[in-house]
Amino acid sequence: MSVRLKVTEAIKQIAKEQHVTLPELTDGLSLHETGFDSLAFAILVARLEDELGVDPFTISEDAAFPATVGDFVRAYENVPA
Amino acid sequence: MHNVLVTGGSRGIGLAIATRLAGAGYNVIAVARRETEELAAAVRASEKRLHFRACDLAVIDAIPAFAKLVRDEFGAIYGLVNNAGLGTEGLLATMHNSEIEALVQLNVLSPIILTKYIARHMMADGAGRIINISSIIASTGYNGLSVYGATKAAATGFTRSLAREVGKLGITVNAIAPGFIDTELTHNLSDEGRKRIAGRSALRRLPDTEDVARMVEYLLGEGGRNVTGTVFTIDAGNTA
């Protein structure tokens, strides 16, 4: 499974658990519009760390969280090996 | 069996907590810079329920990797006891800035960052207990402990707001505020000072490390199920 697929699957799984109705996940969708609150994002980052073995936001020196779904996925795709 | 991480687990209150929890059936990971003789003996006596893992929590950048290492080795962490801390005394006017910085770093920044990396997995797991060791000095005053007092007040403030943040995910966050307890941290206190504090306490004695360990056990167990965002004073009535 590609990183992109794993990330989107995790988003959908958490949406189900947190009873969030997701809009269609396109790259341009703002993370605010996903309906996720900060707790849901914390869970997402923790789950992905378990699954992919990385937390790109700890490695990154940039303190800003991504703005869109596309940026979020790319953060995981572009982790240096 | 539930995993519990106890920082500063090699001596004093932390060692008492780690030993007691291992005896109560938890799988305990005691964290410290170095393993002491006492901890090594407790590990040997624990029938593999107590483990030592080295980490210098003052090195903030090493904390995320350490949290991951522990989780990879032991699995989900159910309990976190933030006990590690310095007890540096000094008059503010003459304390070296590096001492002030080290005290704030280890007593405030390190537990907050460690909690961040442990708590978010608790969030993903939907369960967890976090216990921060504060001090009665957080809410009362003592000459020469202004910086220490500030760091311990930080622990109770952190406790209350974090409890609000993670409560809906089934995680509890509480603080314990011990009074003066005989450990290496309080070795500077003279016998006379010790007697004076005991004499001013309702029960005319000092609490010991085991009292704190029992409270931690309670908060981790069924009894602590509906207890969150609060501070438990264990001081034999010193501040009563």
Instruction: Write out pLDDT tens, residues B10-46.
Output: 999 999 999 999 999 999 999 999 999 999 999 999 9
DSSP one-letter code for A32: G
Residue B84 and residue B31 in contact, taking contact as beta carbons nearer than 8 Å: yes
Burial of A19 (0-12, 13-18, 19+ CB in 10 A): exposed
Over 80: is that where the pLDDT of B187 sits?
no
Give B120's contacts in chain A (Cβ within 8 Å): 42-43, 45-46
Amino acid letter for position B138: A
pLDDT at A81: 60
- Average pLDDT of B48-74? 96
**B218 belongs to the catalytic site:** no
- Quote the minimal CA–CA distance from B109 to chain A in Å: 16
Residue B3 and residue B77 in contact, taking contact as beta carbons nearer than 8 Å: yes
- Average pLDDT of B78-94? 95
What is the count of residue pairs from A and B with beta carbons less than 8 Å apart?
A: 24
Give A50's contacts in chain B (Cβ within 8 Å): 71, 121, 124
- Average pLDDT of A27-46? 92
Residues of chain B with pLDDT > 90, as a percent, come to 89
Q: CA of B82: how far to CAs of A5, B114, B128, B168, B203, in Å?
A: 37, 9, 14, 21, 27
Q: How far is CA B100 from the centre of its chain?
A: 20
* Three-state secondary-structure class, residue A30: strand
Pairing of strands B27-32, B50-54: parallel
Which of B53-57, B155-159, B193-197 has the lowest average pLDDT?
B193-197
pLDDT at A13: 95
Assigned fold of A3-77? 1.10.1200
pLDDT at A39: 87
Q: Would you kindly state where each structural domain of chain B is located, as residue ranges?
A: 3-234
pLDDT at B214: 98
Assigned fold of B3-234? Rossmann fold (3.40.50)
pLDDT-based confidence at residue B188 (cuts at 50, 70, 90): confident
Residue B212 and residue B18 in contact, taking contact as beta carbons nearer than 8 Å: no
